[in-house]
Amino acid sequence: MTEKWDAIIVGSGAGGGTAAHVLTRRGKRVLVLERGPAKTAEDFLPYDELHFWAHKSLIPHKTNDPMIYVDGKGNRNKSERWWEANMVGGSTMIWDANFPRYTDEDFAVTQYVKDLPNSDAMVDWPWTYEEFVPYFKKAERDWCVSGDNQDSTEMESLRNGTIDREYDYPMPPLRLHSSTTFLKDIFRKAGMRPYVGARAINSQTFDSRPACSFCGYNQLFGCAVNSRANSGNTVLRKALSTGLCDLRTGHYVTRLLFDTGNNGKPGKIRGVRYVTNPGSDEKTFEAPLVFVSVQTIQSARLFLYSEIPDPPKLIGRFLTYHPKGDLHLTFKGMPVWDAGPQFQPRTAIGSLQLRGLYTYEDGGMRRKGGKFSVYDPYTCIPPLHLVQGASLSESKKNVWGRELVDYLSELRSQGGVSFSFTGEAISRLDNRVEIEDSDGVKDPWGIPVARTFYQHDKNDQEVSTYALKRVADIMTAAGGEVRKFEPQGKENPGYGHVHGALRAGTDPGKSVLDANCQSHTVKGLYVLDAAFMPTAGASNPSITLIANAYRVCETV
Protein backbone atom coordinates (compact mmCIF):
# COMPACT_ATOMS: atom_id res chain seq x y z
CA MET A 1 0.00 0.00 0.00
CA THR A 2 1.47 3.36 -0.98
CA GLU A 3 1.72 5.84 1.85
CA LYS A 4 0.05 8.71 -0.01
CA TRP A 5 -3.59 9.49 0.58
CA ASP A 6 -6.15 11.92 -0.74
CA ALA A 7 -7.79 12.09 2.66
CA ILE A 8 -7.29 11.09 6.28
CA ILE A 9 -10.44 10.10 8.17
CA VAL A 10 -10.22 10.32 11.95
CA GLY A 11 -12.66 7.81 13.43
CA SER A 12 -14.26 4.72 11.88
CA GLY A 13 -17.82 5.16 13.14
CA ALA A 14 -20.98 6.52 11.57
CA GLY A 15 -19.40 9.56 9.91
CA GLY A 16 -15.95 8.11 9.28
CA GLY A 17 -17.20 4.87 7.76
CA THR A 18 -19.60 6.73 5.49
CA ALA A 19 -16.82 9.09 4.39
CA ALA A 20 -14.54 6.15 3.57
CA HIS A 21 -17.25 4.57 1.43
CA VAL A 22 -18.24 7.71 -0.47
CA LEU A 23 -14.66 8.86 -1.07
CA THR A 24 -13.34 5.47 -2.21
CA ARG A 25 -16.32 5.11 -4.54
CA ARG A 26 -15.12 8.38 -6.08
CA GLY A 27 -11.68 6.86 -6.56
CA LYS A 28 -9.99 8.60 -3.63
CA ARG A 29 -7.33 6.89 -1.50
CA VAL A 30 -8.22 7.23 2.17
CA LEU A 31 -6.51 6.46 5.46
CA VAL A 32 -8.91 5.71 8.33
CA LEU A 33 -7.39 6.07 11.78
CA GLU A 34 -9.22 4.36 14.62
CA ARG A 35 -8.03 4.54 18.21
CA GLY A 36 -9.65 1.27 19.25
CA PRO A 37 -9.31 -2.33 18.07
CA ALA A 38 -11.37 -4.20 15.48
CA LYS A 39 -14.04 -6.51 16.88
CA THR A 40 -16.01 -9.31 15.29
CA ALA A 41 -19.50 -10.53 16.13
CA GLU A 42 -18.02 -13.40 18.17
CA ASP A 43 -16.46 -10.85 20.52
CA PHE A 44 -20.01 -10.17 21.80
CA LEU A 45 -20.56 -13.77 22.88
CA PRO A 46 -21.56 -15.41 25.07
CA TYR A 47 -24.69 -13.37 25.82
CA ASP A 48 -24.06 -11.94 29.25
CA GLU A 49 -25.68 -8.82 30.62
CA LEU A 50 -23.39 -8.64 33.61
CA HIS A 51 -20.15 -8.73 31.66
CA PHE A 52 -21.09 -6.55 28.71
CA TRP A 53 -23.40 -4.05 30.40
CA ALA A 54 -22.97 -4.03 34.19
CA HIS A 55 -19.19 -4.43 33.96
CA LYS A 56 -18.93 -1.85 31.18
CA SER A 57 -16.59 -3.90 29.05
CA LEU A 58 -17.47 -2.10 25.81
CA ILE A 59 -17.00 1.51 26.87
CA PRO A 60 -14.12 3.66 28.15
CA HIS A 61 -13.61 3.42 31.90
CA LYS A 62 -14.19 6.58 33.86
CA THR A 63 -11.38 5.67 36.22
CA ASN A 64 -8.71 6.32 33.63
CA ASP A 65 -10.44 7.71 30.52
CA PRO A 66 -13.23 9.96 31.73
CA MET A 67 -14.95 13.09 30.68
CA ILE A 68 -15.03 15.77 33.38
CA TYR A 69 -18.47 17.21 34.04
CA VAL A 70 -18.70 20.45 35.98
CA ASP A 71 -22.15 20.60 37.55
CA GLY A 72 -24.30 23.58 38.45
CA LYS A 73 -22.54 23.98 41.79
CA GLY A 74 -19.08 23.94 40.20
CA ASN A 75 -18.29 20.41 41.41
CA ARG A 76 -16.06 18.42 39.12
CA ASN A 77 -17.21 14.85 38.42
CA LYS A 78 -15.66 12.04 36.41
CA SER A 79 -18.40 11.27 33.94
CA GLU A 80 -18.86 7.94 32.20
CA ARG A 81 -19.12 8.09 28.40
CA TRP A 82 -21.47 5.14 28.13
CA TRP A 83 -22.37 5.97 24.53
CA GLU A 84 -18.80 5.85 23.21
CA ALA A 85 -17.32 2.53 22.18
CA ASN A 86 -13.59 2.60 21.46
CA MET A 87 -13.45 0.13 18.60
CA VAL A 88 -13.84 0.03 14.84
CA GLY A 89 -17.40 1.21 14.24
CA GLY A 90 -17.49 3.45 17.30
CA SER A 91 -20.90 3.99 18.80
CA THR A 92 -22.57 2.18 15.90
CA MET A 93 -21.40 -0.97 17.65
CA ILE A 94 -23.68 -0.40 20.65
CA TRP A 95 -26.57 1.70 19.33
CA ASP A 96 -30.28 0.90 19.32
CA ALA A 97 -30.31 1.55 15.56
CA ASN A 98 -33.36 3.80 15.55
CA PHE A 99 -33.22 5.72 12.27
CA PRO A 100 -35.81 8.51 12.16
CA ARG A 101 -34.98 11.40 9.84
CA TYR A 102 -34.80 14.97 11.06
CA THR A 103 -37.53 16.97 9.28
CA ASP A 104 -38.53 20.55 8.48
CA GLU A 105 -39.25 21.23 12.14
CA ASP A 106 -35.62 20.42 12.93
CA PHE A 107 -34.01 22.16 9.97
CA ALA A 108 -36.02 25.33 10.63
CA VAL A 109 -36.69 25.46 14.36
CA THR A 110 -36.72 29.19 15.12
CA GLN A 111 -40.39 29.65 14.26
CA TYR A 112 -41.26 27.32 17.16
CA VAL A 113 -39.13 29.02 19.80
CA LYS A 114 -39.96 32.65 19.05
CA ASP A 115 -40.45 34.70 22.23
CA LEU A 116 -39.20 31.92 24.45
CA PRO A 117 -36.79 33.28 27.07
CA ASN A 118 -33.11 32.46 26.41
CA SER A 119 -33.81 31.29 22.85
CA ASP A 120 -31.60 33.85 21.08
CA ALA A 121 -28.93 31.23 20.32
CA MET A 122 -31.41 29.13 18.33
CA VAL A 123 -30.82 29.27 14.58
CA ASP A 124 -32.20 27.70 11.44
CA TRP A 125 -29.97 25.24 9.62
CA PRO A 126 -28.42 26.49 6.36
CA TRP A 127 -30.05 23.59 4.48
CA THR A 128 -33.58 22.28 4.03
CA TYR A 129 -35.09 18.87 4.63
CA GLU A 130 -35.69 18.64 0.88
CA GLU A 131 -31.97 19.05 0.18
CA PHE A 132 -31.22 16.20 2.55
CA VAL A 133 -33.80 13.75 1.15
CA PRO A 134 -31.54 12.16 -1.50
CA TYR A 135 -28.88 11.63 1.17
CA PHE A 136 -31.36 10.12 3.63
CA LYS A 137 -32.27 7.63 0.92
CA LYS A 138 -28.63 6.73 0.29
CA ALA A 139 -28.09 6.27 3.98
CA GLU A 140 -31.20 4.08 4.27
CA ARG A 141 -29.98 1.97 1.37
CA ASP A 142 -26.33 1.53 2.38
CA TRP A 143 -27.04 1.15 6.10
CA CYS A 144 -29.74 -1.44 5.39
CA VAL A 145 -32.83 0.03 6.97
CA SER A 146 -36.01 -1.94 7.58
CA GLY A 147 -39.37 -0.26 7.96
CA ASP A 148 -42.66 0.63 6.34
CA ASN A 149 -42.48 4.05 4.75
CA GLN A 150 -46.25 4.20 4.20
CA ASP A 151 -47.34 3.23 7.70
CA SER A 152 -48.60 6.51 9.07
CA THR A 153 -49.15 10.12 8.14
CA GLU A 154 -46.96 11.06 11.07
CA MET A 155 -43.89 9.52 9.49
CA GLU A 156 -41.12 11.84 8.60
CA SER A 157 -41.39 11.37 4.89
CA LEU A 158 -45.16 11.48 4.53
CA ARG A 159 -45.91 14.92 5.87
CA ASN A 160 -46.24 18.42 4.50
CA GLY A 161 -47.18 17.22 1.06
CA THR A 162 -43.84 15.55 0.46
CA ILE A 163 -45.44 12.16 0.07
CA ASP A 164 -43.15 9.91 -1.88
CA ARG A 165 -45.23 6.85 -2.61
CA GLU A 166 -42.54 5.58 -5.00
CA TYR A 167 -40.04 5.07 -2.22
CA ASP A 168 -39.76 2.46 0.47
CA TYR A 169 -37.02 1.23 2.74
CA PRO A 170 -34.78 -1.57 1.46
CA MET A 171 -36.45 -4.07 3.79
CA PRO A 172 -39.93 -4.51 5.22
CA PRO A 173 -40.29 -3.79 8.93
CA LEU A 174 -39.17 -6.08 11.71
CA ARG A 175 -41.68 -8.48 13.20
CA LEU A 176 -44.15 -6.47 15.25
CA HIS A 177 -44.17 -6.42 19.02
CA SER A 178 -47.23 -8.08 20.58
CA SER A 179 -48.35 -4.75 22.03
CA THR A 180 -48.31 -2.86 18.72
CA THR A 181 -51.98 -3.21 17.72
CA PHE A 182 -53.17 -2.52 21.27
CA LEU A 183 -51.12 0.68 21.48
CA LYS A 184 -51.95 1.90 17.97
CA ASP A 185 -55.67 1.56 18.77
CA ILE A 186 -55.36 3.63 21.94
CA PHE A 187 -53.42 6.40 20.22
CA ARG A 188 -55.71 6.45 17.19
CA LYS A 189 -58.61 7.26 19.50
CA ALA A 190 -56.50 10.11 20.90
CA GLY A 191 -55.80 11.42 17.41
CA MET A 192 -52.21 10.22 17.12
CA ARG A 193 -50.72 7.70 14.74
CA PRO A 194 -47.61 5.97 16.04
CA TYR A 195 -45.88 3.87 13.47
CA VAL A 196 -43.39 1.06 13.20
CA GLY A 197 -40.04 2.83 13.24
CA ALA A 198 -37.24 2.60 10.72
CA ARG A 199 -34.36 0.56 12.16
CA ALA A 200 -30.92 -0.21 10.80
CA ILE A 201 -31.61 -3.85 11.66
CA ASN A 202 -32.25 -6.64 9.15
CA SER A 203 -35.78 -7.98 9.03
CA GLN A 204 -34.63 -10.61 6.52
CA THR A 205 -31.33 -11.82 5.10
CA PHE A 206 -29.95 -8.75 3.36
CA ASP A 207 -26.55 -7.66 2.10
CA SER A 208 -25.17 -11.06 3.16
CA ARG A 209 -26.19 -10.60 6.77
CA PRO A 210 -28.91 -12.49 8.62
CA ALA A 211 -32.23 -11.29 9.97
CA CYS A 212 -32.48 -10.20 13.59
CA SER A 213 -32.99 -13.19 15.86
CA PHE A 214 -34.41 -11.09 18.74
CA CYS A 215 -31.88 -12.17 21.30
CA GLY A 216 -32.83 -9.05 23.26
CA TYR A 217 -29.28 -7.69 23.52
CA ASN A 218 -29.67 -4.57 21.43
CA GLN A 219 -28.94 -1.11 22.81
CA LEU A 220 -25.65 -0.95 24.74
CA PHE A 221 -24.59 -4.40 23.49
CA GLY A 222 -22.62 -5.54 20.48
CA CYS A 223 -24.61 -7.55 17.95
CA ALA A 224 -23.37 -11.14 18.02
CA VAL A 225 -25.51 -12.09 15.03
CA ASN A 226 -24.41 -9.22 12.73
CA SER A 227 -28.03 -8.48 11.89
CA ARG A 228 -27.81 -4.94 13.24
CA ALA A 229 -25.95 -2.50 11.01
CA ASN A 230 -22.77 -0.84 12.12
CA SER A 231 -20.09 1.06 10.25
CA GLY A 232 -17.89 -2.02 9.92
CA ASN A 233 -20.46 -4.39 8.43
CA THR A 234 -21.89 -1.84 5.96
CA VAL A 235 -20.04 1.19 4.60
CA LEU A 236 -16.54 0.48 5.90
CA ARG A 237 -16.67 -3.04 4.51
CA LYS A 238 -17.54 -1.59 1.10
CA ALA A 239 -14.73 0.97 1.36
CA LEU A 240 -12.18 -1.72 2.27
CA SER A 241 -13.23 -3.89 -0.67
CA THR A 242 -12.17 -1.17 -3.16
CA GLY A 243 -8.52 -1.50 -2.15
CA LEU A 244 -8.40 2.28 -1.76
CA CYS A 245 -9.05 2.32 2.01
CA ASP A 246 -6.28 1.79 4.52
CA LEU A 247 -7.74 1.15 8.00
CA ARG A 248 -5.31 1.39 10.90
CA THR A 249 -6.52 0.39 14.33
CA GLY A 250 -4.76 1.37 17.52
CA HIS A 251 -3.98 4.75 15.98
CA TYR A 252 -5.00 7.69 18.15
CA VAL A 253 -5.00 11.09 16.50
CA THR A 254 -3.84 13.55 19.12
CA ARG A 255 -3.58 16.73 17.10
CA LEU A 256 -4.49 18.22 13.75
CA LEU A 257 -1.54 19.65 11.79
CA PHE A 258 -2.09 22.77 9.76
CA ASP A 259 -0.42 25.84 8.36
CA THR A 260 -1.86 29.04 9.75
CA GLY A 261 -3.00 31.56 7.20
CA ASN A 262 -1.64 35.10 7.11
CA ASN A 263 -3.21 38.48 6.46
CA GLY A 264 -6.53 37.23 7.70
CA LYS A 265 -6.63 34.38 5.18
CA PRO A 266 -7.62 30.91 6.38
CA GLY A 267 -4.98 28.28 7.07
CA LYS A 268 -4.63 24.90 5.37
CA ILE A 269 -4.68 21.40 6.82
CA ARG A 270 -1.50 19.37 6.41
CA GLY A 271 -2.34 16.16 8.25
CA VAL A 272 -2.46 14.70 11.73
CA ARG A 273 -0.23 13.80 14.64
CA TYR A 274 -0.92 10.39 16.16
CA VAL A 275 0.31 7.89 18.73
CA THR A 276 -0.22 4.15 19.02
CA ASN A 277 0.46 2.67 22.48
CA PRO A 278 0.48 4.97 25.49
CA GLY A 279 4.03 6.28 25.76
CA SER A 280 4.83 5.82 22.07
CA ASP A 281 6.32 8.68 20.07
CA GLU A 282 4.02 11.03 18.25
CA LYS A 283 4.26 10.63 14.48
CA THR A 284 2.74 12.33 11.47
CA PHE A 285 0.51 11.37 8.57
CA GLU A 286 -0.04 13.96 5.86
CA ALA A 287 -2.93 14.50 3.46
CA PRO A 288 -4.61 17.48 1.80
CA LEU A 289 -8.00 16.63 3.35
CA VAL A 290 -8.79 15.58 6.92
CA PHE A 291 -12.25 14.46 8.06
CA VAL A 292 -12.79 14.38 11.81
CA SER A 293 -15.60 12.17 13.14
CA VAL A 294 -14.94 10.96 16.69
CA GLN A 295 -18.22 12.01 18.35
CA THR A 296 -19.25 15.56 19.16
CA ILE A 297 -17.39 16.06 22.42
CA GLN A 298 -14.19 14.34 21.30
CA SER A 299 -14.15 16.25 17.99
CA ALA A 300 -14.49 19.53 19.85
CA ARG A 301 -11.73 18.40 22.18
CA LEU A 302 -9.47 17.62 19.20
CA PHE A 303 -10.13 21.09 17.76
CA LEU A 304 -9.31 22.69 21.11
CA TYR A 305 -6.14 20.69 21.70
CA SER A 306 -4.99 21.44 18.16
CA GLU A 307 -5.64 25.15 18.76
CA ILE A 308 -7.66 25.54 15.58
CA PRO A 309 -7.97 29.31 15.07
CA ASP A 310 -11.25 30.48 16.56
CA PRO A 311 -11.80 34.25 16.23
CA PRO A 312 -15.47 34.18 17.39
CA LYS A 313 -14.49 31.85 20.29
CA LEU A 314 -17.17 29.30 19.48
CA ILE A 315 -15.26 26.02 19.43
CA GLY A 316 -16.93 23.84 22.04
CA ARG A 317 -19.91 26.20 22.42
CA PHE A 318 -23.60 25.45 21.93
CA LEU A 319 -23.14 21.84 23.01
CA THR A 320 -26.56 20.17 23.03
CA TYR A 321 -28.04 17.03 24.52
CA HIS A 322 -31.62 16.06 23.78
CA PRO A 323 -33.79 16.39 26.87
CA LYS A 324 -35.03 12.93 27.60
CA GLY A 325 -37.87 11.43 29.60
CA ASP A 326 -38.82 7.97 30.75
CA LEU A 327 -42.40 6.77 31.29
CA HIS A 328 -43.42 3.24 32.25
CA LEU A 329 -46.97 1.96 32.65
CA THR A 330 -48.66 -1.34 33.35
CA PHE A 331 -52.08 -2.52 32.18
CA LYS A 332 -54.12 -4.61 34.58
CA GLY A 333 -55.89 -7.35 32.75
CA MET A 334 -53.55 -7.32 29.76
CA PRO A 335 -51.41 -10.43 29.44
CA VAL A 336 -47.64 -10.28 29.20
CA TRP A 337 -46.78 -9.42 25.59
CA ASP A 338 -45.93 -12.86 24.28
CA ALA A 339 -48.58 -13.54 21.69
CA GLY A 340 -46.77 -16.10 19.55
CA PRO A 341 -44.02 -16.69 16.99
CA GLN A 342 -45.40 -14.19 14.51
CA PHE A 343 -44.45 -11.45 17.02
CA GLN A 344 -41.23 -10.50 18.77
CA PRO A 345 -40.52 -12.91 21.63
CA ARG A 346 -39.84 -12.15 25.29
CA THR A 347 -36.41 -10.92 24.33
CA ALA A 348 -37.65 -8.12 22.11
CA ILE A 349 -36.37 -4.83 20.78
CA GLY A 350 -39.57 -2.87 19.95
CA SER A 351 -40.22 -0.20 18.70
CA LEU A 352 -43.01 2.01 17.70
CA GLN A 353 -42.30 5.65 17.08
CA LEU A 354 -44.70 8.34 18.30
CA ARG A 355 -44.43 11.70 16.65
CA GLY A 356 -47.79 13.25 17.53
CA LEU A 357 -46.12 15.79 19.83
CA TYR A 358 -43.26 16.78 17.55
CA THR A 359 -44.89 20.17 17.60
CA TYR A 360 -47.85 21.16 19.71
CA GLU A 361 -50.18 24.08 20.31
CA ASP A 362 -49.51 26.28 23.33
CA GLY A 363 -51.32 29.57 23.90
CA GLY A 364 -51.85 30.21 20.21
CA MET A 365 -48.22 29.42 19.32
CA ARG A 366 -46.93 26.26 17.64
CA ARG A 367 -44.13 24.96 19.88
CA LYS A 368 -41.42 22.35 19.33
CA GLY A 369 -41.75 19.18 21.38
CA GLY A 370 -40.25 15.86 20.46
CA LYS A 371 -40.86 12.21 19.79
CA PHE A 372 -41.08 8.91 21.63
CA SER A 373 -39.63 5.51 21.02
CA VAL A 374 -42.20 3.08 22.40
CA TYR A 375 -41.13 -0.21 24.00
CA ASP A 376 -42.24 -2.63 26.68
CA PRO A 377 -40.04 -2.67 29.79
CA TYR A 378 -40.51 -6.38 30.47
CA THR A 379 -39.65 -7.66 27.02
CA CYS A 380 -37.40 -4.90 25.70
CA ILE A 381 -35.06 -4.25 28.63
CA PRO A 382 -32.78 -7.08 29.84
CA PRO A 383 -33.43 -8.10 33.47
CA LEU A 384 -30.48 -6.59 35.37
CA HIS A 385 -31.04 -3.18 33.86
CA LEU A 386 -34.79 -3.27 34.37
CA VAL A 387 -34.81 -4.65 37.89
CA GLN A 388 -32.09 -2.24 39.10
CA GLY A 389 -34.40 0.60 38.13
CA ALA A 390 -37.56 -1.06 39.55
CA SER A 391 -40.07 1.71 40.13
CA LEU A 392 -43.68 1.54 41.33
CA SER A 393 -44.58 5.21 40.94
CA GLU A 394 -43.03 8.61 40.37
CA SER A 395 -41.95 8.70 44.00
CA LYS A 396 -41.28 4.99 44.62
CA LYS A 397 -38.02 4.39 42.79
CA ASN A 398 -35.39 1.68 43.13
CA VAL A 399 -37.71 -0.35 45.32
CA TRP A 400 -36.60 -3.23 47.50
CA GLY A 401 -38.07 -5.77 49.93
CA ARG A 402 -41.76 -6.58 49.56
CA GLU A 403 -42.17 -3.75 47.05
CA LEU A 404 -39.56 -5.31 44.81
CA VAL A 405 -41.43 -8.62 44.93
CA ASP A 406 -44.65 -6.76 44.07
CA TYR A 407 -42.92 -5.08 41.14
CA LEU A 408 -41.55 -8.35 39.79
CA SER A 409 -44.85 -10.19 40.30
CA GLU A 410 -46.60 -7.52 38.29
CA LEU A 411 -44.03 -7.52 35.50
CA ARG A 412 -44.25 -11.26 34.93
CA SER A 413 -48.02 -11.33 34.77
CA GLN A 414 -49.32 -8.29 32.94
CA GLY A 415 -48.45 -6.26 29.88
CA GLY A 416 -46.78 -2.87 30.10
CA VAL A 417 -45.39 -0.14 27.94
CA SER A 418 -42.48 2.27 28.15
CA PHE A 419 -41.94 5.56 26.39
CA SER A 420 -38.52 7.09 25.83
CA PHE A 421 -38.72 10.80 24.98
CA THR A 422 -36.32 12.74 22.77
CA GLY A 423 -36.96 16.47 22.71
CA GLU A 424 -35.67 19.65 21.16
CA ALA A 425 -33.07 21.50 23.23
CA ILE A 426 -32.49 25.20 23.73
CA SER A 427 -28.93 25.90 22.61
CA ARG A 428 -26.94 27.88 25.17
CA LEU A 429 -23.56 29.53 24.78
CA ASP A 430 -22.46 28.32 28.20
CA ASN A 431 -23.27 24.68 27.49
CA ARG A 432 -19.87 23.81 26.22
CA VAL A 433 -16.84 21.58 25.85
CA GLU A 434 -13.47 22.69 27.15
CA ILE A 435 -10.25 20.80 27.51
CA GLU A 436 -8.48 20.07 30.77
CA ASP A 437 -5.45 22.17 31.61
CA SER A 438 -1.95 20.70 31.34
CA ASP A 439 -2.04 19.86 35.07
CA GLY A 440 -5.57 18.44 34.89
CA VAL A 441 -6.99 15.01 34.15
CA LYS A 442 -5.43 13.13 31.28
CA ASP A 443 -6.36 10.00 29.35
CA PRO A 444 -4.11 6.90 29.26
CA TRP A 445 -2.10 8.46 26.40
CA GLY A 446 -1.40 11.60 28.41
CA ILE A 447 -3.77 13.84 26.46
CA PRO A 448 -5.97 16.18 28.53
CA VAL A 449 -9.58 14.99 28.58
CA ALA A 450 -12.70 16.93 27.68
CA ARG A 451 -14.47 18.98 30.33
CA THR A 452 -18.16 19.74 29.85
CA PHE A 453 -20.55 22.26 31.33
CA TYR A 454 -24.24 21.58 30.84
CA GLN A 455 -27.46 22.84 32.35
CA HIS A 456 -30.76 22.14 30.59
CA ASP A 457 -32.82 25.23 29.92
CA LYS A 458 -36.08 25.42 31.84
CA ASN A 459 -37.91 24.98 28.53
CA ASP A 460 -36.19 21.63 27.93
CA GLN A 461 -37.41 20.38 31.29
CA GLU A 462 -40.93 21.74 30.80
CA VAL A 463 -41.29 20.25 27.33
CA SER A 464 -40.15 16.88 28.59
CA THR A 465 -42.61 16.99 31.49
CA TYR A 466 -45.43 18.18 29.25
CA ALA A 467 -44.87 15.48 26.63
CA LEU A 468 -44.60 12.73 29.25
CA LYS A 469 -47.79 13.95 30.92
CA ARG A 470 -49.74 14.08 27.64
CA VAL A 471 -48.82 10.48 26.87
CA ALA A 472 -49.38 9.34 30.46
CA ASP A 473 -52.87 10.85 30.35
CA ILE A 474 -53.72 9.00 27.13
CA MET A 475 -52.43 5.75 28.58
CA THR A 476 -54.16 6.08 31.95
CA ALA A 477 -57.45 6.94 30.27
CA ALA A 478 -57.08 3.59 28.53
CA GLY A 479 -56.51 1.74 31.81
CA GLY A 480 -52.78 2.05 32.28
CA GLU A 481 -51.16 2.74 35.62
CA VAL A 482 -48.00 4.82 35.82
CA ARG A 483 -45.00 3.04 37.32
CA LYS A 484 -42.22 5.42 36.30
CA PHE A 485 -42.36 9.10 35.43
CA GLU A 486 -38.92 10.66 35.00
CA PRO A 487 -38.72 13.87 32.96
CA GLN A 488 -35.48 15.67 32.18
CA GLY A 489 -33.74 17.32 35.12
CA LYS A 490 -31.48 20.34 35.01
CA GLU A 491 -28.08 18.66 35.18
CA ASN A 492 -26.68 16.55 32.37
CA PRO A 493 -23.39 14.73 32.94
CA GLY A 494 -23.59 13.20 29.48
CA TYR A 495 -25.99 11.55 27.05
CA GLY A 496 -25.77 9.58 23.83
CA HIS A 497 -27.75 12.09 21.78
CA VAL A 498 -24.99 14.68 21.75
CA HIS A 499 -24.49 17.35 19.09
CA GLY A 500 -23.34 20.90 18.54
CA ALA A 501 -20.01 22.22 19.89
CA LEU A 502 -18.66 22.83 16.35
CA ARG A 503 -21.63 24.70 14.95
CA ALA A 504 -21.98 24.91 11.16
CA GLY A 505 -23.23 28.12 9.56
CA THR A 506 -22.67 30.55 6.73
CA ASP A 507 -21.38 33.41 8.92
CA PRO A 508 -17.75 32.88 10.07
CA GLY A 509 -18.47 35.26 12.94
CA LYS A 510 -21.18 32.96 14.28
CA SER A 511 -19.98 29.45 13.48
CA VAL A 512 -16.99 27.13 13.47
CA LEU A 513 -17.72 25.20 10.27
CA ASP A 514 -19.16 26.46 7.01
CA ALA A 515 -22.22 25.03 5.29
CA ASN A 516 -20.09 22.19 3.90
CA CYS A 517 -18.86 21.35 7.39
CA GLN A 518 -15.42 22.67 6.53
CA SER A 519 -13.55 24.71 9.15
CA HIS A 520 -13.82 28.44 8.41
CA THR A 521 -10.21 28.93 9.49
CA VAL A 522 -8.42 25.79 8.28
CA LYS A 523 -9.23 24.76 4.73
CA GLY A 524 -9.38 21.05 4.00
CA LEU A 525 -10.49 20.24 7.56
CA TYR A 526 -14.01 18.80 7.82
CA VAL A 527 -16.17 17.46 10.63
CA LEU A 528 -18.63 14.65 9.96
CA ASP A 529 -20.08 13.67 13.32
CA ALA A 530 -23.00 15.46 14.98
CA ALA A 531 -20.81 18.31 16.21
CA PHE A 532 -21.82 20.22 13.06
CA MET A 533 -25.50 20.39 14.03
CA PRO A 534 -26.49 24.03 14.53
CA THR A 535 -29.32 23.01 16.86
CA ALA A 536 -30.22 19.72 18.51
CA GLY A 537 -33.31 18.71 16.56
CA ALA A 538 -35.74 16.35 18.25
CA SER A 539 -35.02 12.88 16.87
CA ASN A 540 -32.30 10.27 17.26
CA PRO A 541 -29.45 11.98 15.38
CA SER A 542 -27.76 9.02 13.67
CA ILE A 543 -29.26 8.95 10.18
CA THR A 544 -29.14 12.74 9.86
CA LEU A 545 -25.47 12.68 10.80
CA ILE A 546 -24.90 9.95 8.23
CA ALA A 547 -26.90 11.73 5.51
CA ASN A 548 -24.81 14.83 6.11
CA ALA A 549 -21.63 12.80 5.66
CA TYR A 550 -22.89 11.65 2.25
CA ARG A 551 -23.77 15.23 1.35
CA VAL A 552 -20.35 16.59 2.29
CA CYS A 553 -18.23 13.77 0.88
CA GLU A 554 -19.96 13.54 -2.47
CA THR A 555 -18.93 17.05 -3.45
CA VAL A 556 -15.69 17.64 -1.57
Partner 1 sequence: MWEYKAPKDRFFTDEEKQQVQAIFEAILPGGDKNPGAKDVGAADYLDRLLAMDDSEYYEIADWKPLYRAGLAMLNAASQTKFKKALYQLSADQMTALLTDLKAGNLDGFPSPAWQRDRFFPILRQHCVEGSFSDPRWGGNRDGLMWSWYGYPNGPSKDFTRTPKRS
Interface residues toward partner 1, by CB under 8 A: 42-43, 45-52, 54-57, 61, 63, 216, 336, 338, 345-347, 383-384, 387-388, 398, 400-402, 404-405, 408-409, 411-413
Q: Which is nearer to partner 1, 280 or 413 (CB)?
A: 413
Q: Which is nearer to partner 1, 154 or 486 (CB)?
A: 486
CB 412: neighbour CB atoms within 10 A?
9
User: Residue 9: in which H helix or E strand, if any?
Assistant: strand 7-10
Write down the least CB distance from residue 443 to partner 1, Å.
Answer: 15
CB 49: neighbour CB atoms within 10 A?
16
Half-sphere exposure of 514 (CA within 13 A, CB side): 12
Establish whether the linkage from the previous residue to 46 is cis, with ω within 30° of 0: yes
Q: Which is nearer to partner 1, 383 or 440 (CB)?
A: 383
Residue (of 532, 302, 531) closest to 435 by Cα position:
302
On whether the CB atoms of residues 419 and 438 are closer than 8 A, the answer is: no
Write down the least CB distance from residue 346 to partner 1, Å.
Answer: 5
Write down the least CB distance from residue 48 to partner 1, Å.
Answer: 5
Write down the least CB distance from residue 275 to partner 1, Å.
Answer: 23
Helix spans in 158-233 (H)? 180-189
Count how many residues are written for the chain: 556
Taking only Cα atoms into account, the Rg of the chain, rounded to an integer number of angstroms, comes to 23
User: Residue 183: in which H helix or E strand, if any?
Assistant: helix 180-189
Write down the least CB distance from residue 377 to partner 1, Å.
Answer: 12
Q: Which is nearer to partner 1, 169 or 337 (CB)?
A: 337
Beta-carbon contacts of residue 29 (< 8 Å; ≥ 6 apart)? 2, 4, 5, 6, 7, 244, 245, 246
Write down the least CB distance from residue 480 to partner 1, Å.
Answer: 20
* Phi, psi torsion values for 501, nearest 5 degrees: 80, -20
Write down the least CB distance from residue 63 to partner 1, Å.
Answer: 5
Q: Which is nearer to partner 1, 193 or 385 (CB)?
A: 385
Q: Which is nearer to partner 1, 24 or 178 (CB)?
A: 178
Beta-carbon contacts of residue 202 (< 8 Å; ≥ 6 apart)? 144, 146, 171, 209, 210, 211, 212, 227, 228, 229
Q: Which is nearer to partner 1, 46 or 191 (CB)?
A: 46
CB 483: neighbour CB atoms within 10 A?
23
Q: Which amino acid is at 264?
A: G
Write down the least CB distance from residue 406 to partner 1, Å.
Answer: 10
Q: Which is nearer to partner 1, 191 or 401 (CB)?
A: 401
* Phi, psi torsion values for 272, nearest 5 degrees: -140, 155
Write down the least CB distance from residue 373 to partner 1, Å.
Answer: 22
Q: Say how many Å lie between the first and final Cα of the chain, rounded.
A: 24
Angle 129-142/14-25 helices, nearest 10 degrees? Answer: 90
**Residue 44 DSSP label:** G
Write down the least CB distance from residue 384 to partner 1, Å.
Answer: 5
Q: Which is nearer to partner 1, 60 or 534 (CB)?
A: 60
Write down the least CB distance from residue 400 to partner 1, Å.
Answer: 5
Residue (of 136, 102, 83) closest to 497 by Cα position:
83
On whether the CB atoms of residues 404 and 512 are closer than 8 A, the answer is: no
Q: Which amino acid is at 303?
A: F
Distance in angstroms (rounded) separating the CA atoms of residues 78 and 91: 20
Write down the least CB distance from residue 50 to partner 1, Å.
Answer: 4
Q: Which is nearer to partner 1, 41 or 116 (CB)?
A: 41
On whether the CB atoms of residues 100 and 371 are closer than 8 A, the answer is: yes
Write down the least CB distance from residue 39 to partner 1, Å.
Answer: 11
Distance in angstroms (rounded) separating the CA atoms of residues 153 and 163: 9
Q: Which is nearer to partner 1, 40 or 162 (CB)?
A: 40
Beta-carbon contacts of residue 248 (< 8 Å; ≥ 6 apart)? 31, 32, 33, 34
CA distances from 432 to 17, 190, 442, 459 (A): 27, 39, 19, 18
Q: Which is nearer to partner 1, 108 or 336 (CB)?
A: 336
